[in-house]
Amino acid sequence: MIVERFLADIEVAERVLGHIDAGTTDRTLEVWREPVANYRSEERFQSDLEVIRRSLVPFCPSGALPDAGSYRAGLAAGVPLLVVRGRDGLARAFVNACRHRGAQIASGTGCRNVLVCPYHGWSYELDGDLRHIPHVDGFPDVDKSTHGLVQLHVEEKHGLIFVRQHDHLAGLEDTSTLSTLIEPEQEVIEVNEFTVEANWKIHLESFLEGLHIRFTHTDTFFPFGYDNLNIVEKNGLHSRITFPFRRIETLAEIPANERQIDGKLTYVYHLFPNALLTVLSHHTNLIVLDPLSINRTRMTNYRMTNRGDVEGAKDRAQRDSKFVGSTGVEEDAAVVKSIQESIGSGANDHFTFGQYEAAIIHLHRNLAKAINYLDNKG
Ligand code: FES
Ligand SMILES: [Fe+2]
C-alpha cells in the first residue's frame, strides 16, 4: 500500500530492507488510463498552464537569492517573473514587465540596489515601488504610486521560494505536511537550463517510477540498484519515490535507529505540479519544468550540495553530478524524445500507468481534479 506521509529516513530504510527480504515493492491497487489527447491538445495545454499559475510552485532555492538585492528572472507558465530579495530580507515576486511599456526589468541573475528598466530607465525599488521616471515632465498623468511592479504571492518555506501567480484553486487545498527540504548550509553550486523537446508531463513521468531502471539504465544505474524496488509516499498533492542502492543491504546489520541512509538511496520528490527535488549521493537538485508549448519544456536545474555535507561538499557534488548528468539524464532524455515522436502516431489513444507507477497516478489524478475545479468553479 502507499503511505500517506513522508516517512522518516529510518522508516524508509526499514521498509526497503523489508521489501528486499520479501521480494516485494510498494504498489497501489489501481491502474490509470491517461488519454494521449491530454499531452497533445492545445486546450489541455492551456489548462495545464493555468493549474501551474494557480499553484504554489517552487521558483528557486532560498540560497539562490542570498543577499538584499539578489534577483533571479525566469519564465514560469508563460509569464516572465522576477524574484528579488529586499532590504528587509523578504523575497518578493513580480511580473517582469516594466510599467512604462512592458520591457523586462532584468534577465538572468545578479544583485542590484535599484531595478532599472533597460529600455527608458524607469527605476524601481527592491520592493517594486516605482522610484524614478527620466523626463518625468513628459508623463504628467502617471501616478507613481500606482505604477509599481505587479507583485505576486510568495511563500518562502522548507528552504525554497515558492510563487503563486493567481488565486489558488478553491477545492484543491494543499494538505501536505512538508518539513525542511533544503537546509541553509546547502550551497547552490550551479544553475543549468535545458530545453527538452517533449511535453512537460512526459518528461516529468520519467522521474516518477522505478520500472524503467533495469531497461533504460541497464549499465548505468541498474548495476547499483534494483529492478522495481521503490518506496512511494504521497503527501497532499506531492509524492516521493525512493530508489535504493544495493549497498543499503549493509544497514541490515545495524540497529534500526542508528542507520544512516546517506549514499544508500536516492529520493525524488515531486512537488505538484511541475517541480522535482532529487537527493542523490552527494548532491541535491531542484528541477523546475516549465512548459513552453505542447511539445517543448524548459528545465531549470539548481544543483546544490547535500544536507549536512560541508567539508569538501562542492567537489563531491561536482563529481557526483558529472556521473548522473552524463549517463542517466541522457538515457532518460532519449526515451522521453522517443515518446514525443510517437505520440501523434495514433498507436495509443491512452497510456496505461500500472500499480507500480503510483506517483504518476497521483500526479494525473490531482491534475484532473485541478482542471475539473478550473472548468466548473473558476
Ligand atoms: S519600457 Fe521600461 S522604461 Fe520604457
Ligand atoms: Fe530514468
Q: Determine the distance separating the centroid of ligand 2 and the alpha carbon of 326, expressed in angstroms.
A: 12
pLDDT at 377: 66
> pLDDT tens digit string along 213-272?
999 999 999 999 999 999 999 999 999 999 999 999 999 999 999 999 999 999 999 999
Q: What is the pLDDT of residues 274-290, one digit of tens each?
A: 999 999 999 999 999 99
Cell of 236: 497532499
Contact 309, 316 (CB under 8 A): yes
- Nearest atom (ligand 1) to Cα of 102: 1
Cell numbers 543499503 correspond to what residue? 248
For atom 4 of ligand 1, which residue has the closest CA?
A: 120
* pLDDT number for residue 266: 97
Residue 296 dihedral angles phi and psi, to the nearest 5°: -140, 140
- The per-residue DSSP string of 274-295 comes to TEEEEE-SS-EEEEEEEEEETT
Q: Ligand 2 center to residue 262 CA distance, Å?
A: 20
State residue 320's pLDDT score: 79
In CATH terms, the fold of domain 63-164 is: Rieske Iron-sulfur Protein (2.102.10)
Q: What is the predicted pLDDT for the residue at 325?
A: 63
> Which ligand is nearest the CA of 134, by number?
1
Tell me, in angstroms, the distance from the centre of ligand 1 to residue 70's CA: 21
Q: Within 13 Å and on the Cβ side, how many CA atoms surround 120? A: 14
Average confidence (pLDDT) over 50-71: 98
Provide mean pLDDT across the span 194-210: 97
User: Which ligand gives the minimal distance to the CA of 207?
Assistant: 2
Distance CA 124, CA 58 (A): 25
* Ligand 1 cavity residues, CB under 6 Å: 98, 100-103, 117, 119-122
> Which CATH architecture is the domain 9-54+174-377 placed in?
Alpha-Beta Complex (3.90)
Q: Whose CA is nearest to atom 3 of ligand 1?
A: 120
- Shortest-distance atom of ligand 1 to CA 98: 2
Distance from residue 68's CA to the centre of ligand 2 (Å): 38
Give 71-84 pLDDT, tens digit per residue. 999 999 999 999 99
| Residue 35, Cβ density class (10 Å: 0-12 exposed, 13-18 middle, ≥19 buried) | middle
Which of 82, 94, 96, 101 to probe ligand 1 with, by most ligand atoms within 8 A of CB?
101
Atom of ligand 1 nearest to the CA of 120: 3
- The domain locations on the chain are 9-54+174-377, 63-164
Position in ligand 1 atom list of the atom nearest CA 122:
3
